[in-house]
Amino acid sequence: MSDFILSSYDWLRGFHILTVIAWMAGLLYLPRLFIYHCQAEPGGELDETLKLQEYRLLKFIMDPAMIATWVFGILLIWSNAERAGGWSIFLAWDWGVKFASIVLMTGLHHIFANRQARFAAGTNDWPHRKFRIYNEIPAVIAIIIVLIATVALR
């Protein structure tokens, strides 16, 4: 198995990047839908349309992309440990910050999933201003992760 992962490193990295793009697209777009949803009349046509769009975005794009991102990321971590001759390379500060950022992004994903369920049930209690703030968080986290992955990681 280890030889397969090592020989597939570039493919794993490519698929990891693609799944991160899909996940990030959802994390950036879903709170925008929530902002519009806050302004929709409950039970109206726009309300029902947004419920369907939010559900599909979360269940058919974001959830699979998040899971695939984690799977490909873990395989890349394993591959990097095998190449470097051990797991000690992951004790550096940059790996810790990147991992914490990924965990934070995953937590944000779950907050959005909870909010989607509340909209679906008609029980949203957040104002659109709060979603405007949450709309910026994934971009900040992405900047941190990309800069660490491209500049800080060895």
Sorted by sequence, the CB contacts under 8 Å of residue 5 that are 6+ apart come out as: 12, 75, 78, 79, 82
Q: What is the pLDDT of residues 95-144, one digit of tens each?
A: 889 999 999 999 999 999 999 999 999 999 999 999 999 999 999 999 99
Percentage of residues in the chain having pLDDT higher than 90: 76
- Dihedrals phi, psi of 42, to nearest 5 degrees: -55, 130
Q: What are the start-end ranges of the H helices in 85-150?
A: 93-121, 128-134, 137-147
Instruction: Give the dihedral sign, CA 115/120/124/126.
Output: positive
Quick: pLDDT tens for 73-105.
999 888 877 776 677 777 888 888 999 999 999
Q: Structure pTM?
A: 0.90
The pLDDT value recorded for residue 153 is: 63
